Structure 1
Amino acid sequence: LMTNNPAKYGGLEGFGLEVVERVPLESVPNPENINYLRTKRERMGHLLEGLDDVL
């Protein structure tokens, strides 16, 4: 499953589907998207790494 959202694979498992691998979707933070990416991580629990190391 290609996602950064843990609720997606949790939801699929709730329907009896086995998720055998999660492939993260990598985004390069930049001045235009850094606040958006941090909001997704902080408010929605998205698994995004390295945002605190940038900008």
Structure 2
Amino acid sequence: MGIADKAKNAAEDLKGKAKEVVGDVTGNDELKAEGKADQTKSSAKQAGENVKDVFKG
């Protein structure tokens, strides 16, 4: 993964955090869950990237 992919993952994580906060503040459980899902997806991509980096190095 390149720098662009890392930035995309970071943006997805931030977007998920924002959705979670807005969902929490507005009482929208669906939006809050969607935010958590976005963060989980971003974390999984990051973990895969870390594994790839280990094998490259």
Common topology (TM > 0.5): no
| Structure (1/2) with the larger helix percentage | 2
Tell which has more relative contact order, 1 or 2 (C-alpha 8 A, sep 6+): 1
With normalisation by structure 2, the TM-score equals 0.31
Q: Rg bigger for which structure?
A: 2
